[in-house]
């Protein structure tokens, strides 16, 4: 397994992203991408665009033909959002049953938060877009736009539920269900569109085909090339 970390050294809740947590991760390859203004030993430098979404997609594109069996993707400072992230990685795949959402046996999304409805995150302040701070965004509209760019022939569900924080493990068998060209197109969007990181945060849970299961509810969602079918959903999904 490989751990892929999107690191922005000046960022984080305290103004500095602390990577000390990585020292507790054992027995896996660690790849850290640095988007900060200065070089750090052992980290791969990337331009500061697209936040973690660009980092993850860049890694997939660059390693498409030699992905490990499992890749664990993480932000640079995941602990405030997933306090037991080190334990989740060290105990994986045994920790998979503690994921907040899964896509079959191919991806597991971890967070201290439960699944969230994209519609209920419709207006969120504090974003800085095109140099303007405090921007409020209707995320449903943005995610619909992104969906149409990536899944031209697949209908978008009436309600979309995602696990926030962009911390997840994905099997190479699932990642390879999408073509290299698919990932290149997604990568280009993260590099050209300033709101793309938050749009992909909401869409990663639907990036790949398979049956979605949520830990906090009996929902099952099957997505294939014919569309999206909901089975036995809780009250925040359509009947």
CA of 237: how far to CAs of 99, 119, 151, in Å? 19, 11, 21
Please tell me the predicted confidence (pLDDT) of residue 126. Answer: 58
Residue 27, Ramachandran bin (φ over 0: left; ψ between -120 and 50: alpha; else beta): left
Question: What is the token pair recorded at 233?
Answer: 């959903």
Residues with Cβ < 8 Å from 163, sequence gap 6 or more? 100, 101, 109, 110, 111, 113, 114, 115, 116, 205
Mean pLDDT (whole number) for 66-75: 98
Interval 85-136: pLDDT, tens: 999 999 999 999 999 889 989 999 999 887 787 876 654 555 666 677 766 6
Cβ(230)–Cβ(237) under 8 Å? yes
Mean pLDDT (whole number) for 195-221: 79
List the alpha helices (DSSP H) in the chain. 51-62, 85-90, 139-150, 172-175, 180-192, 196-203
Least confident segment among 29-33, 96-100, 165-169: 96-100
Please tell me the predicted confidence (pLDDT) of residue 234. Answer: 38
Question: What is the token pair recorded at 111?
Answer: 């967070």
User: What is the rounded CA–CA span in Å between residue 16 and residue 8?
Assistant: 8
pLDDT at residue 189 is higher than 90? yes
- The phi, psi pair for 189, rounded to 5°, reads -65, -40
pLDDT at residue 17 is higher than 90? no
* 227-231/220-224 β-pairing: antiparallel
pLDDT at residue 217 is higher than 50? no
More confident site: 218 or 177:
177
User: What is the model's pTM?
Assistant: 0.86
Q: Residue 99, SS3? A: coil
Question: What is the token pair recorded at 209?
Answer: 């085909």
Partners of residue 108 on adjacent β-strands: 102, 169
* 116-117/161-162 β-pairing: antiparallel
Q: Is the peptide bond before 93 cis (omega within 30 degrees of 0)?
A: yes
């Amino acid at each position: 397994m490989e751990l892929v970390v999107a690191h922005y050294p000046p960022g984080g809740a305290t103004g500095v992203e602390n990577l000390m947590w990585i020292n507790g991760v054992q027995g896996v390859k660690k790849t850290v991408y640095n988007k900060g203004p200065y070089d750090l030993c052992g980290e791969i430098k990337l331009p500061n665009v697209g936040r973690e979404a660009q980092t993850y997609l860049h890694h997939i594109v660059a390693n498409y033909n030699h992905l490990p069996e499992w890749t664990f993707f993480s932000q640079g400072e995941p602990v405030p959002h997933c306090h037991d992230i080190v334990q989740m990685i060290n105990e994986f795949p045994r920790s998979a049953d503690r994921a907040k959402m899964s896509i079959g046996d191919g991806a597991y999304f971890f967070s201290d938060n439960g699944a969230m409805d994209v519609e209920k995150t419709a207006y969120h302040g504090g974003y800085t877009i095109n140099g303007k701070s405090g921007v409020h965004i209707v995320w449903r509209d943005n995610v619909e736009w992104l969906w149409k760019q990536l899944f031209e022939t697949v209908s978008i569900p009436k309600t979309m539920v995602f696990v926030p924080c962009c911390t997840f493990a994905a099997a190479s068998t699932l990642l390879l269900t999408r073509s290299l060209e698919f990932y290149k197109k997604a990568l280009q969007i993260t590099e050209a569109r300033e709101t793309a990181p938050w749009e992909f945060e909401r869409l990663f849970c639907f990036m790949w085909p398979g049956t979605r299961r949520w830990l906090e509810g009996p929902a099952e969602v099957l997505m294939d090339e014919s569309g999206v079918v909901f089975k036995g959903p809780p009250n925040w999904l359509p009947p």
